Structure 1
Amino acid sequence: MTYRKPDITLPLKEIHRLEKLKEYQILDTHSEDTFDKIALMASQIFNTPCAFITFIDQDRAFLKSNLSALPINEVEREGTLSSLTIFNDDVTVFNDTHTQPELMENQFIKGENGIRFFAGVPLKSPEGFNVGVLSVADYVPREATNLQLDMLKTLSKIIIDKLENRLRYRKSIESQINLMNIALHEIKNPLASINLANDIIRKDITTKDKMTGMIKSSVARIQKRLSDLLKQSELEEKDLVLSIEEINLRDMFTRLLNNFELLAHRKKQVIELHCDESLPCIEGDKSKISDVLHNLLSNAIKYSYHGSCIKVSAREAGNYIHIEVKDEGQGLNFNDIQKLFTKFAKLSSKPTGKETSNGLGLSISKSFIELHRGNIYAMSPGKDKGATFIVSLPLKYTTPNDIEAIAEFN
């Protein structure tokens, strides 16, 4: 084989390759018997003293399995034979590296006991990204047979299969944890409403009819959310699924304000709704959009001061509905905004009425809005200057297949 330094002309592909490598969570892990046995099989097939399973990071090569006299588990990426191998979709073979002048300055090749023979095959993910290399090496020149090279390819596929199986298992566990977190978060607010309504009934029996209606509505909401989540957990596909229907946002806002009337009244807060009479309906999952707005309004009440005003507005903006929830609360600093939609993020603001917070609501809201091809973000002039959360939702829901069809047409 003639050596040729690769020309990296696809930086975007390299970014995706590194993302896939990171997704496997294999870098900087301890050696494992499973991978060491595969490397051993490779060395036995070729009858070589060295075999490696190497994963190529941005600036380094991490040796997951190192069956050699080298007392290291990572080296600089530049100049390694494995870093050359990932640019080839087929096997890379050097029967004698000393016949390639360009390689003679390589620290692992030049000098006594340098590598003379090398055969490596890329570890190709199902998406087509070469994340690493399975290789064998010897200190003397030798020839590789086609059968040996085919067996090396087979072993490389086994490595990827193991990585993908681990990834699927991890995602399955993460999905179940996410479903549990969503369930816990979604029943928290209705339970708070039930508890508050019960306290009011005990103090003022004249409010019985209104409070029992609220309790019934909250219980129904909990039952529906738990039922939806149980169905979701039974699906083979672990991603959240949307139930698309027409949504009248004005009706949704009215119900939300009724649900939060008591909580706001307890802190002497006022909720103002500014919504165009001609606001069009949108297509989306009603329960998930309601959950998002419920969370934003709940947070506005939770983090705003007593006696303050909360403004909720909605208007049509082109092919989108623009929704804002603006409060006069503690506001957000730069660090808050940077990590605002991260799970379990600890922010500088604290609930003003001793309410509790688990740090999940905004991350869940973000995932729901993005499933609708929408956007959610926040703005704040600074601490103690209030905050505004903005949600943009398309009037018409577009499936991934629709997006691909539009892209192909254009």
Structure 2
Amino acid sequence: MSKFKKLSTATTRYESLRLNKLRRYDVIDSPPELLFDLIAEIAKTAFKAAGSFISFIDDTQVYFKANTSLIPVSVMKKKDSLCTLALQSDEITLIEDTKTCIALKNNAYVKMDHGIRFYAAAPITTMEGFIIGAVSVMDNKARHDIDKDQLSVLKWLARITLEKLESRLINRISVRAYDDRLHRLAHDMKNPATSLIAYGQLLDKGLLSKEKLASLGNKIEQTGRNIEQTMNNLLNEAKNENAAIDLKFETVKVMDLINTAAATFDFTLKQKQQTLKITCHTEGYIQVDQERINDVFNNLLSNAIKYSHEGASIEIICSATAGNIIFEFKDNGLGLNKEDITKLFTKFAKLSSVPTAKERSHGIGLYIVKTLVQLHGGKVWAKSAGKNLGSSFFISLPK
């Protein structure tokens, strides 16, 4: 009952996809985990074998997540591992006596004292059909007593191993989703919190007229409502395990979006003695989730203010094409170098520039911008002539 075939060469495309899938599980070079150890022990017991392995096959090496044998390895070269035999078929590989396999006669782990004389491996196959590893058993003597039930157990253990990998991956994604919500909450709360502090400072001075007090009261109320809405959005998203964002589209006047952002940062602009110029070449309307696009505009205008010096001029320019409306947030501030451009719109990006008034930057704002714009079917990009030469951030949204 012996089965052995010489490995065929995998296509470059298949191997690339297989490795990408394997690395998504984040199992290579990871520490031992109890369930994997238990799976290996069950395999060893079921076969009354000298040892068992759970192994994962990378591009040049094989990593052992569990090893109950007396062979003291946690990693070995791919060419030396019998585990790679599992790559040739989605069926169980069974070698009752390795001494009968010409292709293994020079294998170091077969030739060694008390080496591998018997070997059976069930491939760990993903839902897409990629073989990423194997659950295997070995013995230091030939075995001709293996029955179908034992082989079935080995196959089931490989399936359980895959289920464990999938559950680990889902848990990690879930944790990252909650972590993202936390960082988004901190980021989204930062600007309104700063505004409330500034409003409080103005009230404390007691120098405002009745008209300005009334205006300030309205701003405080609106800021509070924005915070409440942000919290509600977060709670609604948290109900979805996949952290999907449910957009609520409505028809909005383009200038209303721009004016809302400008009003939000009116006080911040005055604090840094900056001016905001708005140039809009369209009076049209657009279908968007207004709250989400407000978040996008607030992020971009906030960054323009942060990375511009006192007294600087900032511009919001709006233009229309046949199918899109393009918004440009332009400043003459610290600018971006080539390395910064490659990092933009990634989570927790660390750029070379530091806010001019030591304002805080958490590195997640542009990531949120990209996510929300893409959900609207739009695009986002940036341009800069270099350090200290300003920058422009563009959003293109379909009409």
TM-score by length of 1: 0.88
Identity in percent:
35
Q: Which residue of the partner structure matches residue 19 of structure 2?
A: 18
Residue 170 of structure 2 aligns to a residue in which SS?
A: helix
In structure 1, which of residues 340, 357, 378 is the aligned counterpart of residue 361 of structure 2?
357
Deviation at 1:296, TM superposition (A): 0.5
In structure 1, which of residues 152, 155, 169 is the aligned counterpart of residue 154 of structure 2?
152
| Counterparts of residues 168-317 of structure 1 (less than 5 Å) | 168-201=170-203, 202-205=206-209, 206-282=211-287, 284-317=288-321
Residue 237 of structure 1 aligns to a residue in which SS?
A: coil
The whole-number CA distance in structure 1 between the counterparts of 2:20 and 2:107 is 28
Q: Deviations over 1:310-338 (max 9, x none)?
A: 12123334543332211111112233233
Residue 383 of structure 1 aligns to a residue in which SS?
A: coil
Deviation at 1:47, TM superposition (A): 2.0
Does structure 2 conserve the Cα–Cα contact (< 8 Å) formed by 1:280 and 1:316?
no
Q: Which residue of the partner structure matches residue 137 of structure 1?
A: 138
Residue 79 of structure 2 aligns to a residue in which SS?
A: coil
Residue 110 of structure 2 aligns to a residue in which SS?
A: coil
Does structure 1 conserve the Cα–Cα contact (< 8 Å) formed by 2:7 and 2:87?
no
Q: 1:19 to 1:287 in 2, by over 3 A?
A: farther
Residue 242 of structure 1 aligns to a residue in which SS?
A: coil
In the alignment, does 2:337 pair up with 1:333? yes
In structure 1, which of residues 4, 7, 10 is the aligned counterpart of residue 6 of structure 2?
4
The whole-number CA distance in structure 2 between the counterparts of 1:287 and 1:226 is 13
Q: Deviations over 1:153-209 (max 9, x none)?
A: 111122222222222223222222221221221122122223323434543324223
Q: 1:370 to 1:328 in 2, by over 3 A?
A: same
Q: 1:15 to 1:368 in 2, by over 3 A?
A: farther
The whole-number CA distance in structure 1 between the counterparts of 2:93 and 2:175 is 37
Q: Which residue of the partner structure matches residue 382 of structure 2?
A: 378
Deviation at 1:381, TM superposition (A): 1.6
Q: 1:16 to 1:318 in 2, by over 3 A?
A: farther
The whole-number CA distance in structure 2 between the counterparts of 1:147 and 1:55 is 24
Residue 247 of structure 2 aligns to a residue in which SS?
A: coil
Q: 1:14 to 1:112 in 2, by over 3 A?
A: same
Deviation at 1:351, TM superposition (A): 1.8
Query: What is the one-letter code of the residue matched to 1:60?
Result: Q
Q: Deviations over 1:280-339 (max 9, x none)?
A: 513x43222211111010010011011211121233345433322111111122332333
Q: Which residue of the partner structure matches residue 77 of structure 1?
A: 78
The whole-number CA distance in structure 2 between the counterparts of 1:88 and 1:157 is 15
Q: 1:8 to 1:197 in 2, by over 3 A?
A: same
Deviation at 1:221, TM superposition (A): 0.9
TM-score by length of 2: 0.90
Q: Which residue of the partner structure matches residue 64 of structure 2?
A: 63
Deviation at 1:42, TM superposition (A): 0.7
The whole-number CA distance in structure 1 between the counterparts of 2:16 and 2:246 is 29
| Counterparts of residues 87-102 of structure 1 (less than 5 Å) | 87-102=88-103
Deviation at 1:73, TM superposition (A): 0.5
Q: Which residue of the partner structure matches residue 399 of structure 1?
A: none
Residue 369 of structure 2 aligns to a residue in which SS?
A: helix
| Structure 1: 5+ residue stretches without partners | 396-410
Does structure 2 conserve the Cα–Cα contact (< 8 Å) formed by 1:6 and 1:84?
no
Does structure 1 conserve the Cα–Cα contact (< 8 Å) formed by 2:116 and 2:139?
yes
Deviation at 1:127, TM superposition (A): 4.1
Q: Which residue of the partner structure matches residue 162 of structure 1?
A: 164
Query: What is the one-letter code of the residue matched to 1:76?
Result: K
Residue 109 of structure 1 aligns to a residue in which SS?
A: helix
Query: What is the one-letter code of the residue matched to 2:260?
Result: R
The whole-number CA distance in structure 1 between the counterparts of 2:250 and 2:83 is 52
Q: Which residue of the partner structure matches residue 29 of structure 2?
A: 28
The whole-number CA distance in structure 1 between the counterparts of 2:167 and 2:229 is 33
Deviation at 1:230, TM superposition (A): 1.2
Residue 186 of structure 2 aligns to a residue in which SS?
A: helix
The whole-number CA distance in structure 1 between the counterparts of 2:352 and 2:344 is 11
